[in-house]
Structure 1
């Protein structure tokens, strides 16, 4: 028996099926990763809508009451011109606002030295009381309901005919005003 020394091999045809399958699988993986990352972005990074609570009757009453508040803004000079000087008293170095019975005024006090904000409401049994130790400015929601303003040794009343909002009023201007 005699063996041939050369073996004839057939040429393997060019087949790109592995390359096509690899590209297709990479494409599917990229789409899958993109969709998952986009879903995570939507879930955690978009601004949430405030639907975490159910509106009860108190919320609806407050929403109705706040929707009725429409104020015109009044500037510092107009506010000072509307003040009526009543008399001197024995109070020292402070600022106080009291309101008329059964009324409420909302305020924001900015302490310019300490860079702090204080929010609250002024009621007949809870007047706003501030010492003149720092530099303050104040926002008031409805100055029509102010009963009296006590500034150092002076007492003032406000004379306005409609609801006004006072923005960034420098309380120190009341010291110079007589």
Structure 2
């Protein structure tokens, strides 16, 4: 980890480092990043710091939900659940037509709360232009129910509506994304 100087900017990490916003940790990001997240970032051609809190919390929540059900979140399943899109500045967010996904956005001062982490995973370091994930026509709602071992769409809607619980430390630990199950009170 490297603490930025006051003059450093989040969009220009030092060579060999990636920028991480503090909100990404609250959204479920842990190190090393999950292989699913690395694949999604690589396929989309974007860096970690381009993900908004909403995108990070939804993607991490879905990764944990899928792992909790014994399966890996593929980019095809993610694109069936919703769509990653970018705003004019290049920040990535997530939209879903058929799922009511709610996230709690961070405080207003998030833009200055960042640090650098050595890039040991081959992640893109500079901001890139979002390449959309292809929407798989062969994966339908019934396929998602089967993959996640859920009885019906109501069960899927319930799981996704309360997706934020999947980024709690206990769930992250349960699926192997965190090494610490308890919270520090230091």
TM-score in terms of structure 2 length: 0.21
Structure with the higher strand share, 1 or 2: 1
Larger-gyration structure (1/2):
1
